[in-house]
Amino acid sequence: MPRGAGVQDGGDGWMVDLSVEIGELTLQNPITPASGSFSWEYDEFIDLNELGGLVAKTICREPRDGNPTPRMAETEAGIIQSIGLPGKGIDYFLENIVPEYAKFDPPLIVSCSSEDPDEFALLASELSVPDVDVVECNISCPTRNTSGGNFALSDEHTGEVVSKLRAATDKPLWAKLSPNAGDIVSIARAAEEAGADALCIANTFLGLKIRTDNFRPAIGNKYGGMVSPALKPIVLRMVYQCAKEVKIPIIGIGGVTKAEDVVEYMLAGASAVGIGYAAFRNPTALTSIIRDLEVWCDNRGIKRVSELIGAIKDEDMEMDTLTAASQGV
């Protein structure tokens, strides 16, 4: 039986039930990798059957070479990357990649992207095969504009593309939103109204690094997506704000490096988290965080991790920022 399934431990206590519900889908724990930072090949380092879900790198319908090199640059606080969604297309993915993931027990979440809403919908339809459990629509690639892939900068474009995807698949549909949007709450509402079953908050932050030795951008595509533990408080705020306004589950993505980060996201309203940077630096981080989360809950007498979802104690606090600021501390 999966770890954390809530069965007796043989002594006087109970194992912590780490399972969470994302719509009609049950994850054995709230820990999933973030798209683009994971592969089934991680099985060389960790037991993938311990994870809550498996998330494949974003795929496109046609083969793509990706962005020009250099594609990654390190900063003092994290990494800027602009990979460009390279891949061999939908046919190769279904024939060669999906069978690799199917060898493992956790549900497979397939991230997909397109620059055209109609092609996007066709891609979602083609991904609606038995071994794919969730279609995650990446509508927020940070190096694309609002009408060419980064639909999540506009509530209108978000509604349009998610509606098309919803009509094209009966699989659970998760919409991955952009932290670069001016008002992510309105984007979240638009995705929910268009039929998304869950929201992934959020994709990477658009950033720039300039080399001081030759005065040129460090990334071949000039701009890149920033990933860093330092971004967690910003994304946490977005998750909190969106959770107050939508009824569908949220997966928090950004800066998770330890079990306490998972707890924070869940208290803010997330049902699960996606981990990218930490797993990139240390492949064993994913399973270590699962074990640490179980210990954290057990030490506090929390029998079900789902009890943490939205459990932040803020009822007595002023919600209006300007009012709160005027009151001082």
Per-residue tokens: 18: 């780490």
Starting at the edge strand that comes first in sequence, how are the strands of the sheet with 250-253 ordered?
Answer: 31-33, 272-275, 250-253, 198-201, 173-176, 134-138, 108-112, 54-59
With contact defined as beta carbons under 8 Å apart, do 268 and 254 qualify?
A: no
Helices 155-168 and 117-126, interaxial angle, to 10°?
30
Taken as a whole, the chain contains a residue count of 329
The alpha carbon torsion through 273, 277, 279, 280 (nearest 10 deg) reads: 150
Among residues 60, 112, 137, 141, the one annotated as catalytic is: 141
Nearest to 270 by CA among 285, 290, 256: 256
Whether 200 is catalytic: no
Q: CA-based Rg of the chain, rounded to a whole angstrom?
A: 19
Are the C-beta atoms of residues 254 and 229 closer than 8 Å to each other? no
Long-range contacts of 9-13 (CB under 8 A, 24+ apart): 13/298
Catalytic residue numbers, as ranges: 141
